[in-house]
């Protein structure tokens, strides 16, 4: 509701403030810029969050490229590899489809997608439930 992804649920009064900006009064264009960039979300269910038709590398690249259309291929690759490194996934996974990964690996991909743009606010819906206990502790 806060990010106004579903137009059927529109608050009629009140405020949702992010850095002094009332998100409920902003344009759709402004919100599109904000989503995944300044504010990101990590879903609880990685299987339904990832596109089964696209490889992991394409999906991570798209998450960055949507907000940085002028980024060079070199910078794009650097950002993707850095996000993978932060979640401790080898770059070999970039060439795989979501169904080829374990639940924990898929969850780490979703976390990488959430952090690739270095958001100011990261909303997490139980992002560690699919991870094994050792990784959860980290």
- pLDDT of 85-107, one tens digit each? 999 999 999 999 999 999 889 99
Provide the whole-model pTM.
Answer: 0.80
Alpha-carbon distances, residue 43 vs 10, 19, 76, 110, 111 (angstroms): 21, 23, 23, 7, 9
Give the span between the Cα atoms of 29 and 90, in whole angstroms.
Answer: 35
- pLDDT of 35-72, one tens digit each? 888 988 887 778 788 999 999 999 999 999 988 999 99
Domains (ranges, CATH) in the chain? 36-137 (3.40.50.300)
The residue written with tokens 């902003």 in the block is 26
pLDDT-derived band at 24 (thresholds 50, 70, 90) equals confident
* Angle in degrees, 0-180, between the axes of helices 103-115 and 73-86, rounded to the nearest 10: 130
63 close to 117: Cβ distance less than 8 angstroms: yes
CA 23 to chain centre: 19
The DSSP element (H or E) to which 126 belongs, if any, is none
DSSP string covering 74-118, please?
A: HHHHHHHHHHHHHTT--GGGGGS-GGGS-HHHHHHHHHHHHHTT-
Q: How far apart are the first and last CA of the chain?
A: 30
């Amino acid at each position: 509701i806060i990010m106004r992804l579903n137009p059927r649920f529109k608050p009629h009064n009140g405020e949702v403030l992010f850095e002094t900006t009332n998100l409920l009064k902003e344009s759709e264009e402004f919100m599109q810029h904000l989503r995944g960039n300044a504010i990101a979300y990590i879903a609880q269910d990685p299987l339904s969050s990832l596109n089964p038709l696209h490889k992991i590398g394409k999906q991570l690249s798209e998450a960055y490229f949507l907000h940085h259309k002028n980024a060079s291929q070199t910078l794009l690759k650097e950002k993707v590899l850095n996000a993978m490194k932060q979640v401790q996934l080898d770059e070999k996974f970039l060439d795989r489809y979501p169904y080829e990964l374990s639940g924990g690996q898929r969850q780490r991909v979703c976390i990488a997608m959430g952090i690739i743009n270095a958001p100011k606010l990261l909303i997490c819906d139980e992002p560690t439930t699919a991870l094994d206990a050792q990784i959860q502790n980290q």
